[in-house]
Amino acid sequence: MTVGDLVQALEGEVVCGEEHLGRAVNAFAASDLLSDVLAFEKQDYALLTGLTNAQIVRTADITGASCIVIVRNKQPQPAAVALAQASGIPIIMARCTMFEACALLSRLAEPHHDAVPRTSNPSGT
Protein backbone atom coordinates (compact mmCIF):
# COMPACT_ATOMS: atom_id res chain seq x y z
CA MET A 1 0.00 0.00 0.00
CA THR A 2 1.16 3.55 -0.64
CA VAL A 3 0.31 6.84 1.02
CA GLY A 4 -1.82 7.62 -2.05
CA ASP A 5 -3.75 4.35 -1.60
CA LEU A 6 -4.35 5.32 2.02
CA VAL A 7 -5.68 8.74 1.01
CA GLN A 8 -8.07 7.12 -1.44
CA ALA A 9 -9.24 4.43 1.00
CA LEU A 10 -9.96 6.97 3.75
CA GLU A 11 -11.38 9.53 1.32
CA GLY A 12 -8.87 11.86 2.89
CA GLU A 13 -7.62 15.31 2.00
CA VAL A 14 -3.90 15.85 1.48
CA VAL A 15 -2.90 18.92 3.49
CA CYS A 16 0.77 18.81 2.46
CA GLY A 17 3.30 16.42 0.98
CA GLU A 18 1.52 15.51 -2.26
CA GLU A 19 4.91 14.78 -3.82
CA HIS A 20 5.34 11.86 -1.37
CA LEU A 21 2.10 9.96 -2.10
CA GLY A 22 4.08 7.09 -3.64
CA ARG A 23 5.76 6.18 -0.35
CA ALA A 24 5.18 2.68 0.97
CA VAL A 25 2.97 2.09 4.00
CA ASN A 26 3.74 -1.29 5.56
CA ALA A 27 2.12 -0.86 8.99
CA PHE A 28 -0.18 1.40 10.99
CA ALA A 29 0.02 3.01 14.43
CA ALA A 30 -3.01 4.71 15.95
CA SER A 31 -2.52 6.74 19.10
CA ASP A 32 -2.87 10.13 20.72
CA LEU A 33 -0.21 9.19 23.27
CA LEU A 34 3.18 10.11 21.82
CA SER A 35 5.10 7.83 24.18
CA ASP A 36 3.26 4.86 22.64
CA VAL A 37 4.20 6.03 19.16
CA LEU A 38 7.84 6.44 20.20
CA ALA A 39 7.84 2.80 21.31
CA PHE A 40 6.46 1.61 17.95
CA GLU A 41 9.19 -0.35 16.19
CA LYS A 42 8.21 -0.22 12.51
CA GLN A 43 9.43 1.81 9.56
CA ASP A 44 7.32 3.09 6.69
CA TYR A 45 4.12 3.21 8.71
CA ALA A 46 1.10 5.50 8.75
CA LEU A 47 0.54 7.35 12.01
CA LEU A 48 -3.17 7.85 12.78
CA THR A 49 -3.90 10.43 15.45
CA GLY A 50 -6.25 13.12 16.65
CA LEU A 51 -3.35 15.39 17.57
CA THR A 52 -2.77 18.46 15.44
CA ASN A 53 0.37 20.11 16.82
CA ALA A 54 3.98 20.17 15.62
CA GLN A 55 5.02 17.56 18.20
CA ILE A 56 3.20 14.85 16.25
CA VAL A 57 5.29 15.73 13.19
CA ARG A 58 8.51 15.53 15.20
CA THR A 59 7.44 12.15 16.54
CA ALA A 60 6.54 10.89 13.06
CA ASP A 61 9.88 12.09 11.73
CA ILE A 62 12.08 10.40 14.33
CA THR A 63 10.12 7.13 14.20
CA GLY A 64 10.17 6.75 10.41
CA ALA A 65 6.50 7.34 9.59
CA SER A 66 5.54 7.53 5.91
CA CYS A 67 2.67 9.92 6.67
CA ILE A 68 0.39 11.33 9.34
CA VAL A 69 -3.37 10.84 9.20
CA ILE A 70 -5.32 13.26 11.38
CA VAL A 71 -8.77 11.83 12.10
CA ARG A 72 -12.12 13.46 12.91
CA ASN A 73 -11.53 16.10 10.23
CA LYS A 74 -9.35 18.13 12.58
CA GLN A 75 -7.24 20.88 11.03
CA PRO A 76 -3.51 20.61 11.72
CA GLN A 77 -1.95 23.66 13.31
CA PRO A 78 0.02 25.90 10.91
CA ALA A 79 3.28 25.09 12.72
CA ALA A 80 2.63 21.37 12.19
CA VAL A 81 2.02 21.88 8.47
CA ALA A 82 5.18 23.97 8.10
CA LEU A 83 7.27 21.37 9.93
CA ALA A 84 5.75 18.50 7.93
CA GLN A 85 6.55 20.31 4.68
CA ALA A 86 10.14 20.89 5.82
CA SER A 87 10.44 17.25 6.94
CA GLY A 88 8.82 15.81 3.81
CA ILE A 89 6.03 14.07 5.72
CA PRO A 90 2.56 14.10 4.16
CA ILE A 91 -0.34 15.12 6.40
CA ILE A 92 -3.75 13.72 5.50
CA MET A 93 -7.05 14.78 7.04
CA ALA A 94 -9.73 12.10 7.32
CA ARG A 95 -13.36 12.67 8.32
CA CYS A 96 -13.69 9.29 10.03
CA THR A 97 -13.00 8.50 13.66
CA MET A 98 -9.83 6.71 14.72
CA PHE A 99 -11.83 3.52 15.24
CA GLU A 100 -13.38 3.71 11.77
CA ALA A 101 -10.00 4.37 10.16
CA CYS A 102 -8.40 1.44 11.99
CA ALA A 103 -11.22 -0.92 11.05
CA LEU A 104 -11.05 0.08 7.38
CA LEU A 105 -7.27 -0.14 7.17
CA SER A 106 -7.26 -3.48 8.98
CA ARG A 107 -9.59 -4.90 6.34
CA LEU A 108 -7.45 -3.48 3.54
CA ALA A 109 -4.20 -4.76 5.04
CA GLU A 110 -5.57 -8.28 5.51
CA PRO A 111 -7.79 -8.97 2.49
CA HIS A 112 -8.51 -12.54 3.57
CA HIS A 113 -9.18 -11.56 7.16
CA ASP A 114 -12.90 -12.45 6.94
CA ALA A 115 -12.10 -15.90 5.52
CA VAL A 116 -10.56 -16.98 8.83
CA PRO A 117 -13.14 -18.11 11.40
CA ARG A 118 -12.82 -16.31 14.72
CA THR A 119 -13.45 -18.08 17.99
CA SER A 120 -13.01 -17.07 21.58
CA ASN A 121 -11.28 -20.38 22.27
CA PRO A 122 -7.60 -20.29 21.20
CA SER A 123 -7.63 -24.04 20.48
CA GLY A 124 -10.38 -23.51 17.89
CA THR A 125 -12.68 -26.13 19.42
pLDDT tens per residue, range 11-69: 999 999 999 999 999 999 999 999 999 998 889 999 999 999 999 999 999 999 999 99
Q: Whole-model pTM?
A: 0.87
Which distant-in-sequence residues (6+ apart) come within 8 Å of 111 by Cβ? Answer: none
**CA distances for 107 relative to 9, 18, 111, 113, angstroms:** 11, 25, 6, 7
**CA distances for 71 relative to 53, 58, 120, angstroms:** 13, 18, 31
User: For the chain, which domains are there?
Assistant: 3-109 (3.40.1390.20)
